[in-house]
Chain A
Amino acid sequence: MADNILKIENLGYDYETEDENGEVIKNVALKDISFEVKKGCFVAIVGSNGSGKSTLAKNLNALFVPSRGRVLVCDMDTKEADPIDIRSKVGMVFQNPDNQLVSSVVEDDVAFGPENLGVDPKEIRDRVDEALSKVSMTEHRKKGPHLLSGGQKQRIAIAGVLAMQTECIVFDEPTAMLDPSGRKEIMDIIEELHKEGKTVILITHFMEEAARADEVIVLNKGEILFDGSPKKLFTKDNQELLDKANLKMPMAASLAAELGFKDVVTDEELINAALK
């Protein structure tokens, strides 16, 4: 049990909105979701627009609490525990690089999380320096976020979560608003963090990114359609499932299928297989 960072049991979530007549309409966004995330795992969550990915993400660190079922973060129920305790275990990086930085100075922004947690000033300084060097943004530490590129802003957002020293980081489409080079920068950092032992949950639209995870969860209309390794997911047999979820095979996987290579889903694996 101790090595489970996250345990999701029959999670359901409804949005409640009011129509013109003031009547409450229930919009069921998540239905009967169950899965576990082990310490140090890299889990990708994919699905088409409106499939409930962001709603699920927000349920993972008590930004939302379940309408049905429960979410356990390090054995704490998000419905009962202090949200601060939950959020100091599970950090989150959002999609829009512009709308998640608080301060007009990069290093003060990175310090925001630890400051909220009441960490000692000297330790905050050390954590900020370390986090900034990890995302290679040390030289920009005194700048204003508005002077940085989208990819750089996203790296600052990551540094902000790193400085909180959470067990797990949830990335909600962190690369969706970036150009290809920015996307690669962020993916490299995410893989690096995973290698260093951080638990990573990556929500993405890009199957190439999902192919690099240990485990992929496919969401469709608020339900889990598939939960397993990318090698199992991206096979010809699953074409129907992928079509249903409105997803495409990663380029490398479909090419490998054509060429008859087995267990190939990422670009590197394709190159290696081709060289053999």
Chain B
Amino acid sequence: MAIRDITLGQYFPGESVIHRLDPRVKIIATLAFLVSLFFIKSFSFFAFAAVCLAICIKLSGVPFKFMAKGLKAIMLLILLTMVVNMLFTPGEVVIFSIWKITITKEGIYRAFFMAIRLVLLIFGSSLLTLTTKPIALTDGLERLMSPLSKLGLPAHELAMMMTIALRFIPTLLDETDKIMKAQTARGADFENGNLKEKAKALIPLLVPLFVSAFRIASDLAMAMEARCYHGGSGRTRMNEMKMKSSDAWAFVLLVVYFAAIIVSRRFDLF
């Protein structure tokens, strides 16, 4: 059944330098990379960013094909962005115009600019999820956010929610699968019909699913309590996070990269 194949935040197991980096460093680096893409004004520095990212991908050992798979899902979005930008960017240098549609040089420039930015955004963020175990990701986020918990941000609770969500996504998918099969056996049809009919067919699926989700939640809460769970205070962690020298180097490189992007804004390179 196809529903089982949906993988969220896929992890590509490996032992590369990138895999071994501290998740906190990876999260900060990814954020910095994503932000940097919005500072870039010229194609040449997009090329620079792309080369930097390509080196990281190469180091991670994740096959390029595997990364490109993530792109397929949003290809439509990219194309749409391109078309919209091409049509609606005001510009002087008209390349051609038919009827009411005018394509300008600026439009084409912008379209490609946005497309490249999107592709780099996707690649950059999927490199993080592909090389970091979900559990390390939530741990890293919890620790990065923990200074904010003094300001009232429930850092531990958010991380715990993510951990539990990750744990139960497969369980709930299994459950959905089971209910779907049971309902299909009783004559339910999830594939055919118009939108309204399809939506209606979902009701006998969603109701039992909610019931079982609540059942799981109440069982799990009891089990967590029985194992002495009492929130984040006084809690220790088995996996301590320690910055290694490779993490320090990654940080230095990140700063250099970011500085280069900032400086680039001062020059009108093309």
Main SS class of interface, A = helix
Say if the beta carbon of A189 comes within 8 Å of chain B: no
Most chain-B Cβ atoms within 10 A of its Cβ — which of A94, A111, A112, A116?
A: A116
Say if the beta carbon of B167 comes within 8 Å of chain A: yes
Say if the beta carbon of A22 comes within 8 Å of chain B: no
A binding-site residues for B, Cβ under 8 Å? 58, 61, 63, 83-84, 87-88, 91-92, 94, 96, 98-105, 107-108, 111-121, 124-125, 128, 144-146, 160-161, 164
B170 touches A99 (CB 8 A): no
How distant is the Cα of A118 from the Cα of B231 in the complex, in angstroms? Answer: 12
Across the two chains, which residue of chain B brings its CB closest to A58?
B222
How distant is the Cα of A56 from the Cα of B134 in the complex, in angstroms? Answer: 38
B binding-site residues for A, Cβ under 8 Å? 133-135, 163-164, 166-167, 170-171, 174, 215-216, 219-220, 222-230, 234-240
With beta carbons under 8 angstroms apart, the residue of B167, B230, B238, B239 that contacts A104 is B167
How distant is the Cα of A108 from the Cα of B216 in the complex, in angstroms? Answer: 20
B235 touches A99 (CB 8 A): no
Given contacts A92-B223, A113-B227, could you give 19 more A-B pairs where the C-beta distance is less than 8 Å? A61-B226, A63-B225, A87-B228, A92-B226, A94-B222, A99-B215, A102-B163, A102-B220, A102-B223, A103-B135, A104-B134, A104-B135, A105-B135, A115-B237, A116-B228, A116-B230, A119-B236, A145-B167, A164-B228
B222 touches A102 (CB 8 A): no
Across the two chains, which residue of chain A brings its CB closest to B226?
A92
Contacts of B171 in A (CB 8 A): 98, 146
Nearest CB in chain B: distance from A84 CB, A = 5
Contacts of B225 in A (CB 8 A): 63, 83, 87
A108 touches B238 (CB 8 A): yes
B227 touches A112 (CB 8 A): yes
Q: Write 8 A-B pairs (CB below 8 A) sorted by A numbering.
A: A88-B228, A94-B219, A100-B220, A102-B163, A103-B167, A124-B238, A128-B238, A164-B227
Across the two chains, which residue of chain A brings its CB closest to B233?
A118
How distant is the Cα of A125 from the Cα of B44 in the complex, in angstroms? Answer: 49
Contacts of B235 in A (CB 8 A): 115-116, 118
